[in-house]
Amino acid sequence: MNELDEGLVNRRRVLGDAWVDKSIAGRNEFNAEFQDLITRYAWNGVWGRPAFNDKTRRLMVLSTMIALKAWEEFALHVRAGIDGPSESRLTPDDIKEVILQAAIYCGVPAANHAFSVAGDILREKGLLAAPGGAL
């Protein structure tokens, strides 16, 4: 397998087939080189390294997305973490701990927004009760 194929394997494992298929379907002459770049370098060159497992990398990505206030990517990785393979799946408590850590190092406003985004996703997935309600 080449770097692109290995990157696609990692990308599918971490983000799921549906997201990757949607991303690939959105390729065009303008963004194709970028898609190849991130698949080869981010998904193979970084996610393919043996130093950290997928769960650790998931937590690191969430923290980084909070710091950057990259809310669309944060939501993508919260969803992927909740739905991921059992060995790298994130629990609501894992996500909460990342956000609490980020409150100290990235700021309370960023953490407050991260709790809002993650909370909406957890409710959508049936993992968090509505305020004042049941699951």
Q: Please tell me the total count of domains within the chain.
A: 2
What is the token pair recorded at 21?
Answer: 């298929």
Q: What's the confidence (pLDDT) of residue 131? A: 86
Packing angle of the helix pair 108-124, 54-68 (nearest 10 deg): 130
- Please report whether residue 10 resides in a domain: yes
Q: What is the pLDDT of residues 22-42, one digit of tens each?
A: 999 999 999 999 999 999 999
70 lies in the same domain as 114:
yes
- Please report whether residue 132 resides in a domain: no
83 lies in the same domain as 37:
no
82 lies in the same domain as 33:
no
3 lies in the same domain as 59:
no
57 lies in the same domain as 117:
yes
What does the buried/exposed string (b/e) look like for 50-81 if buried means 16 or more CB atoms within 10 Å of the residue's CB? eeeebbebbbebbbebbeeeeeeebbbbbbbb
What stretch of H or E contains 24? helix 17-25
30 lies in the same domain as 79:
no
What is the token pair recorded at 4?
Answer: 């692109």
State the residue range of the domain holding 21: 1-51
Distance from C-alpha of 81 to C-alpha of 6, rounded to nearest angstrom = 20
Q: What is the pLDDT of residues 93-119, one digit of tens each?
A: 999 999 999 999 999 999 999 999 999
- Please report whether residue 18 resides in a domain: yes
The Cα-based distances of 69 to 9, 28, 72, 73, 130 in angstroms read 27, 27, 9, 9, 25
User: Which of the four pLDDT bands, split at 50, 70 and 90, describes residue 84?
Assistant: very high
45 lies in the same domain as 59:
no
